[in-house]
Amino acid sequence: MKRISPHSMRRIHRRGSGQVLLVVVVMLVVILVFGFFLFDLQGIIRLRARSQTGVDAAALAGAAWQGRTLNMIGELNLLKATTVMLTDSEDPTSPVDVAHTEQMTQLQARLAYVGPMMGLAAAQQAAKQNGLRSDSGYTSAMWEHYNSCLSGGSESYYADFYGTDPDNFGFSWVSLYSTLLFDVMADGIAANPTNTRLLNGSPVLLGAGGSLLADADFYKAVYARDYCWFYRRGIGPSHGPIDLSGIRYERNTQAFFPGSEYLSLRINFSDSMDPAQISGVSDLHVTRGQQALSAGQEDVDKVRWAVYDADWNETGNYEFINKYLRSSFKTEYTYGGACARFITHAYPQYISHNKSWKYGEQASVVGEVQSTASAKPFGSINSTAPQSIGLVLPVFTETRLIPTSLVTATPYSEDPDFYKFIIDYFGNPDYPNVPSEISAKYAYYLNAIKLYNDSASAFSTSWWTYDSWRTTYMAGADGQLGTADDRKDPCTPVFRPGGGGGSSGGPDSLH
């Protein structure tokens, strides 16, 4: 038997020790990387929870102030009715005191600005108290609107376009509103209201391809090569290029309405009162132990009353979403009108690696946390929706979170960077000859348009490959479309009853 020398034994031992050391090092690296990953993951989960809590608080704070303000405006309507009743209409020397009721109308109009602005400020405070920070994108977008429409007071765009007192309320709404908005913006916007009602409307791109360019999802679909997004809009790989020189930028300016654009109460004023409205006022008077307003009360047409506008009757989304809820909304709570929808962005801090990438000069953060929430004030009158009689009355008793899909977001409101791109690029006075510094600033979006227009780009050539596969797949085993063995289009959304959003066919968000 061959004996192994002590020297050979030491050499074998050293070799084995080196292998063990290598295995230990590899295992430590794996454990360390996995630990970093778990640390990042729990950070994202905690940030998501904090972000959702913050935006929930913001939505509830905003909607609560909407309810309070509507109740105050409703109380003034009741006070006007009392003023009318106290007037002896049979005595021609004692007409209804119109001057006093007009002072109440002015107060109602002021409340329509002040109340929602208090709600916006309360929403920012609620979001920040829950750990959310001011977002530069949200803040700059609001400043953009302020500077273009309200800055300058009586010399502002709004004052020139609508006048400083278009409905003869007795005060300059521009000065009041601009001051309030300035004070809110000064501390930064952490939760962005997304169901705004801008008087100057939203930007519109007219011309062939304008609707595509005005959709933020178009640019995401190009970079993600989400060809199904295009198929669902009737666009195939043989599409022609978008002629940018034929795109026209416009604003769909709205008719004047009293009150804040942010957290709008969606009310107006009317100088008439129908029998149903008189009945509603009478019921509240009786409930409070007061004399009822009679059906034949004179002089009610001499007073301006705060009334709900048509937006309160928008109930289509409620009918659609009821099938996704455990129980449907009660009839008396099925109404549109004053609601609060907010969005927040938060950015996690990674320790494992840098999670960012760029297209051109526009950076996108992978793993950003976006949270949305909607809330509204609830109330009813005689077991019917509050707007059923048209007159604003103090009937709002609580505020609740509701599915986000029930509140329609204003175009561009959830993506301030895209909003600025539309304004700065397509709204540039020199368009289509936009200065190079602006084009460089928005290279992310312009590069997506270039990829879409270029038939030789990787985006376009890959589309033809996908289109060929899609056609073959749908044709089935016999290779012929329109026969019994055809397969379902892979781009057809799958409808799954009972909830879910996105491609499932359900609403985009059930909070």
Q: Look at the block and give the residue holding tokens 């940018």.
A: 244
Give the SS3 label for residue 9: helix
What distance in Å separates the CA atoms of residue 43 and residue 412, rounded to the nearest whole number?
A: 29
Write the single-letter amino acid at 451. L
Give the SS3 label for residue 307: strand
Query: Read out DSSP for 113-178?
Result: HHHHHHHHHHHHHHHHHTT----HHHHHHHHHHHHHHTTTGGGSHHHHHH-SSTT--SS-HHHHHH
Torsion of CA 118, 119, 124, 130, to 10 degrees: 120
pLDDT tens digit sequence for 201-231: 888 999 999 999 999 999 999 999 999 999 9
Residues with Cβ within 8 Å of residue 248, at least 6 apart in sequence: 205, 206, 207, 210
What distance in Å separates the CA atoms of residue 310 and residue 364, rounded to the nearest whole number?
A: 39
What distance in Å separates the CA atoms of residue 96 and residue 99, rounded to the nearest whole number?
A: 9
Contact 73, 306 (CB under 8 A): yes
Q: Look at the block and give the residue holding tokens 């705004």.
A: 196
Residues of the chain where predicted confidence (pLDDT) is lower than 50 = 89, 92-93, 355-366, 498-504
362: β partners: 359
Residues with Cβ within 8 Å of residue 65, at least 6 apart in sequence: 115, 116, 118, 119, 122, 263
pLDDT tens digit sequence for 115-146: 999 999 999 999 999 988 898 889 998 998 99
Burial class of residue 163 (count of CB atoms within 10 Å of its CB; 0-12, 13-18, 19+):
middle
For 274, the token pair is: 């129908």
Residues with Cβ within 8 Å of residue 377, at least 6 apart in sequence: 63, 64, 66, 67, 70, 338, 396, 398, 399
What distance in Å separates the CA atoms of residue 382 and residue 283, rounded to the nearest whole number?
A: 9
Burial 28-49 (b: 16+ CB within 10 A, else e): eeeeeeeeeeeebeeebeebee
The 3-class SS string of 173-241 reads HHHHHHHHHHHHHHCCCCCEECCCCCCCCCEEEECCCHHHHCCHHHHHHHHHCCHHHHHCCCCCCCCCC
What distance in Å separates the CA atoms of residue 291 and residue 284, rounded to the nearest whole number?
A: 10
Dihedral of CA 201/371/260/425: which sign? negative
Can you give the pLDDT at residue 84?
A: 76
Can you give the pLDDT at residue 297?
A: 63
Can you give the pLDDT at residue 499?
A: 45
Give the SS3 label for residue 264: coil
- DSSP letter for 312, please: G
What distance in Å separates the CA atoms of residue 497 and residue 511, rounded to the nearest whole number?
A: 17
Can you give the pLDDT at residue 314?
A: 84
Dihedral of CA 499/500/502/503: which sign? negative
Can you give the pLDDT at residue 500?
A: 44
Dihedral of CA 73/74/77/82: which sign? negative
CA angle 217, 223, 229 (to 5 degrees): 45
Burial class of residue 357 (count of CB atoms within 10 Å of its CB; 0-12, 13-18, 19+):
exposed
Give the SS3 label for residue 343: strand
